[in-house]
Protein backbone atom coordinates (compact mmCIF):
# COMPACT_ATOMS: atom_id res chain seq x y z
CA UNK A 1 0.00 0.00 0.00
CA UNK A 2 1.25 3.47 -0.85
CA UNK A 3 -0.13 6.79 0.15
CA UNK A 4 1.32 10.21 -0.58
CA UNK A 5 3.35 11.41 2.37
CA UNK A 6 2.67 14.79 3.93
CA UNK A 7 4.13 17.03 6.60
CA UNK A 8 2.06 15.15 9.17
CA UNK A 9 4.88 12.63 9.30
CA UNK A 10 6.63 15.11 11.57
CA UNK A 11 3.72 16.99 13.12
CA UNK A 12 -0.02 16.76 13.51
CA UNK A 13 -2.51 18.70 11.45
CA UNK A 14 -5.17 20.63 13.34
CA UNK A 15 -8.53 18.89 12.88
CA UNK A 16 -11.29 21.24 11.74
CA UNK A 17 -14.29 19.31 12.98
CA UNK A 18 -13.11 16.51 15.26
CA UNK A 19 -11.49 16.60 18.66
CA UNK A 20 -12.70 20.04 19.69
CA UNK A 21 -12.56 19.18 23.37
CA UNK A 22 -16.20 20.08 24.02
CA UNK A 23 -17.12 16.77 25.59
CA UNK A 24 -16.38 16.69 29.30
CA UNK A 25 -15.65 13.79 31.60
CA UNK A 26 -17.26 13.01 34.92
CA UNK A 27 -19.80 15.09 36.81
CA UNK A 28 -19.71 18.81 37.70
CA UNK A 29 -17.99 17.93 40.98
CA UNK A 30 -15.58 15.01 41.33
CA UNK A 31 -14.02 13.46 44.40
CA UNK A 32 -10.56 12.51 43.20
CA UNK A 33 -8.86 9.98 45.45
CA UNK A 34 -5.42 8.43 45.75
CA UNK A 35 -1.96 9.93 46.08
CA UNK A 36 -0.88 9.96 42.42
CA UNK A 37 -4.18 11.26 40.97
CA UNK A 38 -4.40 14.05 43.55
CA UNK A 39 -0.73 14.94 43.18
CA UNK A 40 -1.13 15.05 39.40
CA UNK A 41 -4.23 17.23 39.65
CA UNK A 42 -2.44 19.70 41.94
CA UNK A 43 0.68 19.81 39.78
CA UNK A 44 -1.01 20.20 36.40
CA UNK A 45 -4.14 22.10 37.49
CA UNK A 46 -6.34 21.09 34.57
CA UNK A 47 -9.31 20.83 36.93
CA UNK A 48 -11.05 23.39 39.10
CA UNK A 49 -9.69 22.77 42.60
CA UNK A 50 -12.14 23.21 45.52
CA UNK A 51 -10.85 21.59 48.71
CA UNK A 52 -8.27 19.05 49.80
CA UNK A 53 -9.03 16.47 52.50
CA UNK A 54 -6.09 14.83 54.27
CA UNK A 55 -6.09 12.22 57.00
CA UNK A 56 -5.06 13.63 60.39
CA UNK A 57 -1.64 11.96 60.53
CA UNK A 58 -0.77 12.88 56.95
CA UNK A 59 2.70 14.16 57.88
CA UNK A 60 3.75 10.56 58.54
CA UNK A 61 3.83 10.05 54.74
CA UNK A 62 6.37 11.86 52.57
CA UNK A 63 4.06 11.92 49.56
CA UNK A 64 1.15 13.26 51.61
CA UNK A 65 3.50 15.95 52.93
CA UNK A 66 4.29 16.85 49.33
CA UNK A 67 0.57 17.13 48.59
CA UNK A 68 0.07 19.35 51.64
CA UNK A 69 2.98 21.57 50.58
CA UNK A 70 1.58 22.11 47.07
CA UNK A 71 -1.92 22.78 48.43
CA UNK A 72 -0.61 25.38 50.85
CA UNK A 73 1.55 26.96 48.16
CA UNK A 74 -1.44 27.48 45.83
CA UNK A 75 -3.67 28.45 48.78
CA UNK A 76 -6.09 25.57 48.30
CA UNK A 77 -8.50 25.14 51.25
CA UNK A 78 -7.44 22.11 53.29
CA UNK A 79 -9.21 20.02 55.92
CA UNK A 80 -7.62 17.38 58.15
CA UNK A 81 -10.18 14.68 58.86
CA UNK A 82 -10.31 11.18 60.35
CA UNK A 83 -9.73 8.29 57.97
CA UNK A 84 -13.29 7.17 58.63
CA UNK A 85 -14.59 10.39 57.06
CA UNK A 86 -12.47 9.82 53.96
CA UNK A 87 -13.82 6.29 53.71
CA UNK A 88 -17.39 7.59 53.92
CA UNK A 89 -16.66 10.15 51.23
CA UNK A 90 -15.28 7.52 48.83
CA UNK A 91 -16.58 4.11 49.93
CA UNK A 92 -15.06 1.03 48.28
CA UNK A 93 -12.12 3.11 47.06
CA UNK A 94 -8.44 3.03 48.00
CA UNK A 95 -8.11 6.71 48.94
CA UNK A 96 -4.64 6.40 50.56
CA UNK A 97 -5.46 9.14 53.03
CA UNK A 98 -6.26 11.91 50.57
CA UNK A 99 -9.30 13.13 48.61
CA UNK A 100 -9.56 16.19 46.40
CA UNK A 101 -12.91 17.84 45.75
CA UNK A 102 -12.59 19.29 42.28
CA UNK A 103 -14.24 19.97 38.96
CA UNK A 104 -14.53 17.40 36.21
CA UNK A 105 -11.61 16.88 33.86
CA UNK A 106 -12.40 18.06 30.31
CA UNK A 107 -11.23 16.20 27.26
CA UNK A 108 -8.26 17.74 25.47
CA UNK A 109 -8.29 19.43 22.07
CA UNK A 110 -5.96 18.99 19.12
CA UNK A 111 -4.26 22.24 20.11
CA UNK A 112 -2.89 20.41 23.18
CA UNK A 113 -0.76 18.12 21.02
CA UNK A 114 2.95 18.89 20.76
CA UNK A 115 3.83 20.42 17.38
CA UNK A 116 7.49 19.45 17.29
CA UNK A 117 9.57 18.58 14.23
CA UNK A 118 11.91 16.59 16.48
CA UNK A 119 11.71 13.01 17.66
CA UNK A 120 10.08 9.86 16.25
CA UNK A 121 7.02 9.63 14.05
CA UNK A 122 3.83 10.44 15.95
CA UNK A 123 1.80 7.59 17.42
CA UNK A 124 -1.85 7.92 18.39
CA UNK A 125 -3.93 5.25 20.11
CA UNK A 126 -7.62 5.15 19.14
CA UNK A 127 -9.96 3.22 21.44
CA UNK A 128 -13.13 1.87 19.85
CA UNK A 129 -15.75 1.91 22.62
CA UNK A 130 -13.70 1.02 25.72
CA UNK A 131 -16.40 1.15 28.39
CA UNK A 132 -14.65 -0.17 31.51
CA UNK A 133 -13.03 2.73 33.44
CA UNK A 134 -10.38 0.42 34.88
CA UNK A 135 -9.36 -0.68 31.37
CA UNK A 136 -9.31 2.91 30.14
CA UNK A 137 -7.15 3.96 33.08
CA UNK A 138 -4.73 1.07 32.60
CA UNK A 139 -4.42 1.88 28.89
CA UNK A 140 -3.71 5.54 29.65
CA UNK A 141 -1.02 4.54 32.12
CA UNK A 142 0.61 2.36 29.45
CA UNK A 143 0.33 5.10 26.82
CA UNK A 144 1.95 7.59 29.17
CA UNK A 145 4.76 5.17 29.94
CA UNK A 146 5.51 4.51 26.26
CA UNK A 147 5.25 8.18 25.26
CA UNK A 148 2.20 7.93 23.00
CA UNK A 149 1.19 11.30 21.54
CA UNK A 150 -2.53 11.07 22.41
CA UNK A 151 -5.48 8.77 22.95
CA UNK A 152 -8.62 9.34 20.88
CA UNK A 153 -12.04 8.02 21.94
CA UNK A 154 -15.54 8.27 20.44
CA UNK A 155 -18.14 10.28 22.33
CA UNK A 156 -20.56 7.36 22.67
CA UNK A 157 -20.04 4.04 24.46
CA UNK A 158 -16.82 5.22 26.11
CA UNK A 159 -16.00 5.58 29.79
CA UNK A 160 -15.99 9.15 31.06
CA UNK A 161 -12.82 10.62 32.59
CA UNK A 162 -13.82 9.66 36.11
CA UNK A 163 -11.81 9.46 39.34
CA UNK A 164 -11.73 5.67 38.83
CA UNK A 165 -10.00 6.19 35.49
CA UNK A 166 -7.50 8.55 37.09
CA UNK A 167 -6.73 6.11 39.90
CA UNK A 168 -6.37 3.20 37.46
CA UNK A 169 -4.01 5.32 35.36
CA UNK A 170 -1.81 6.06 38.41
CA UNK A 171 -2.49 9.76 37.83
CA UNK A 172 -1.47 9.78 34.16
CA UNK A 173 -4.96 11.00 33.22
CA UNK A 174 -4.23 14.30 34.99
CA UNK A 175 -1.67 15.31 32.36
CA UNK A 176 -2.15 13.04 29.36
CA UNK A 177 -3.92 14.14 26.15
CA UNK A 178 -7.28 12.36 25.70
CA UNK A 179 -9.37 13.63 22.79
CA UNK A 180 -13.05 12.87 22.18
CA UNK A 181 -14.37 12.75 18.61
CA UNK A 182 -17.95 12.58 17.38
CA UNK A 183 -17.37 9.83 14.82
CA UNK A 184 -14.31 7.59 15.12
CA UNK A 185 -14.60 6.12 11.61
CA UNK A 186 -14.71 9.60 10.06
CA UNK A 187 -11.82 10.73 12.23
CA UNK A 188 -9.67 7.82 11.01
CA UNK A 189 -10.53 8.55 7.37
CA UNK A 190 -9.65 12.23 7.79
CA UNK A 191 -6.31 11.41 9.40
CA UNK A 192 -5.49 8.92 6.64
CA UNK A 193 -6.02 11.70 4.10
CA UNK A 194 -3.44 13.74 6.03
CA UNK A 195 -0.78 11.05 5.89
CA UNK A 196 -1.33 8.87 8.97
CA UNK A 197 -1.59 5.08 8.66
CA UNK A 198 -4.09 3.05 10.65
CA UNK A 199 -3.29 -0.29 12.30
CA UNK A 200 -6.02 -2.32 13.98
CA UNK A 201 -5.35 -4.99 16.60
CA UNK A 202 -7.52 -8.02 15.81
CA UNK A 203 -7.17 -11.48 17.29
CA UNK A 204 -8.11 -13.15 13.99
CA UNK A 205 -5.64 -11.23 11.82
CA UNK A 206 -3.00 -13.28 10.03
CA UNK A 207 -0.32 -10.60 10.25
CA UNK A 208 1.95 -10.82 13.30
CA UNK A 209 2.31 -7.60 15.30
CA UNK A 210 6.03 -8.37 15.45
CA UNK A 211 6.26 -7.38 11.78
CA UNK A 212 4.94 -3.91 12.55
CA UNK A 213 7.49 -1.12 12.12
CA UNK A 214 7.43 2.47 13.28
CA UNK A 215 8.61 3.96 10.01
CA UNK A 216 5.63 6.31 9.49
CA UNK A 217 3.00 8.17 11.56
CA UNK A 218 0.61 5.59 13.01
CA UNK A 219 -2.79 5.32 14.63
CA UNK A 220 -3.16 2.11 16.62
CA UNK A 221 -6.79 1.04 17.01
CA UNK A 222 -7.96 -1.21 19.85
CA UNK A 223 -11.49 -2.50 20.22
CA UNK A 224 -14.13 -3.02 22.85
CA UNK A 225 -13.43 -5.45 25.70
CA UNK A 226 -15.89 -8.03 24.34
CA UNK A 227 -16.72 -7.19 20.73
CA UNK A 228 -13.33 -6.00 19.51
CA UNK A 229 -13.09 -3.51 16.66
CA UNK A 230 -16.36 -2.70 14.94
CA UNK A 231 -16.67 -3.66 11.26
CA UNK A 232 -16.86 -0.05 10.08
CA UNK A 233 -13.64 0.73 11.96
CA UNK A 234 -11.96 -2.38 10.54
CA UNK A 235 -12.63 -1.05 7.04
CA UNK A 236 -10.66 2.10 7.86
CA UNK A 237 -7.55 0.12 8.85
CA UNK A 238 -4.58 -0.17 6.50
CA UNK A 239 -3.41 -3.27 8.36
CA UNK A 240 -4.88 -5.71 10.85
CA UNK A 241 -2.39 -7.41 13.16
CA UNK A 242 -2.63 -9.94 15.98
CA UNK A 243 -0.53 -10.95 18.98
CA UNK A 244 0.60 -14.58 18.74
CA UNK A 245 0.23 -16.70 21.85
CA UNK A 246 -1.13 -19.90 23.35
CA UNK A 247 -4.23 -20.89 21.31
CA UNK A 248 -5.80 -22.31 24.48
CA UNK A 249 -6.25 -18.71 25.69
CA UNK A 250 -8.75 -16.82 23.56
CA UNK A 251 -7.26 -13.34 23.94
CA UNK A 252 -5.53 -10.83 26.17
CA UNK A 253 -7.29 -8.12 28.16
CA UNK A 254 -7.32 -4.97 26.03
CA UNK A 255 -5.05 -3.08 28.43
CA UNK A 256 -2.50 -5.93 28.39
CA UNK A 257 -2.69 -6.13 24.61
CA UNK A 258 -2.02 -2.39 24.44
CA UNK A 259 1.11 -2.86 26.54
CA UNK A 260 2.41 -5.65 24.28
CA UNK A 261 2.01 -3.63 21.08
CA UNK A 262 3.34 -0.36 22.49
CA UNK A 263 6.34 -2.09 24.03
CA UNK A 264 7.16 -3.57 20.62
CA UNK A 265 6.85 -0.20 18.87
CA UNK A 266 8.74 1.64 21.60
CA UNK A 267 11.74 -0.67 21.46
CA UNK A 268 12.16 -0.70 17.70
CA UNK A 269 15.55 0.66 16.52
Residue 84 scores a pLDDT above 60: yes
* 222 assigned to some structural domain: yes
Residue 7 scores a pLDDT above 80: no
* 174 assigned to some structural domain: yes
Contact assessment for residue 140 and residue 167, using Cβ atoms and an 8 Å cutoff? no
Residue 22 scores a pLDDT above 70: no
Residue 64 scores a pLDDT above 80: yes
Do 217 and 244 lie in a common domain?
A: yes
* Alpha helices by DSSP H, 160-201: 163-168, 184-193
Residue 23 scores a pLDDT above 60: no
- The total number of structural domains in the chain stands at 2
pLDDT of residue 102: 97
* 2 assigned to some structural domain: no
Do 78 and 121 lie in a common domain?
A: no
* 1 assigned to some structural domain: no
pLDDT of residue 18: 39
In the chain, the percentage of residues whose pLDDT exceeds 90 is 71
The CATH number that applies at residue 12 is 3.40.1280.10
CA atoms of 134 and 129, how far apart (whole Å): 13
Do 86 and 55 lie in a common domain?
A: yes
Do 53 and 121 lie in a common domain?
A: no
Contacts of 104 (CB under 8 A, 6+ apart): 24, 25, 26, 27, 28, 29, 30, 47, 161
Beta 207-208 vs 150-154: how paired, if at all? unpaired
Contact assessment for residue 214 and residue 121, using Cβ atoms and an 8 Å cutoff? yes
In degrees rounded to 5, what are phi and psi of residue 198? -110, 125
Domain boundary among 55, 78, 103: 103
pLDDT of residue 1: 46
Do 118 and 234 lie in a common domain?
A: yes
Domain boundary among 47, 68, 103: 103
pLDDT, greater one: 35 or 203: 35
Do 249 and 136 lie in a common domain?
A: yes
| pLDDT band with cut points at 50, 70 and 90 for residue 231 | very high
pLDDT of residue 119: 59
Do 46 and 145 lie in a common domain?
A: no
The mean of the pLDDT values for the chain is 87
Do 189 and 134 lie in a common domain?
A: yes
For 156-175, what is the mean pLDDT?
Answer: 96
* 159 assigned to some structural domain: yes
* 57 assigned to some structural domain: yes
Do 88 and 167 lie in a common domain?
A: no
Residues comprising the chain, all counted: 269
Do 98 and 227 lie in a common domain?
A: no
CA nearest to 95, candidates 133, 52, 146, 47:
52
Do 58 and 137 lie in a common domain?
A: no
Q: Which residues of 42-81 are buried (b: 16+ CB within 10 A; e: fewer)?
A: beeebbebeebbbbeebeebeebeebbebbeeeebeeeeb
Residue 251 scores a pLDDT above 70: yes
The CATH number that applies at residue 94 is 3.30.1330.30
pLDDT tens-digit series, residues 100-113: 999 999 898 877 76
Q: Which domain, by its residues, includes 37?
A: 29-103
* 52 assigned to some structural domain: yes
pLDDT tens-digit series, residues 209-228: 999 998 999 999 999 878 88
pLDDT of residue 114: 60
pTM (two decimals) = 0.86
Do 86 and 177 lie in a common domain?
A: no
* 249 assigned to some structural domain: yes
In degrees rounded to 5, what are phi and psi of residue 20? -85, 0
In the chain, the percentage of residues whose pLDDT exceeds 70 is 87
Domain boundary among 81, 103, 125: 103
Based on the number of CB atoms within 10 Å of its own CB, is 162 exposed (0-12), middle (13-18) or buried (19 or more)? buried
Amino acid sequence: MRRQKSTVERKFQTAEKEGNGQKSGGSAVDLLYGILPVLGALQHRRRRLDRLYLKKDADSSERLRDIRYIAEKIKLPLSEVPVTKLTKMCPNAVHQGVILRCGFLPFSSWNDLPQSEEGPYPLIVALDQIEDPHNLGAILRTCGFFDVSAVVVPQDHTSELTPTVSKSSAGVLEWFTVISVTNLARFLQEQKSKGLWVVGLDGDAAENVGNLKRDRPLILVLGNEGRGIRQLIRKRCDWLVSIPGNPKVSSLNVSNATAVVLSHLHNLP
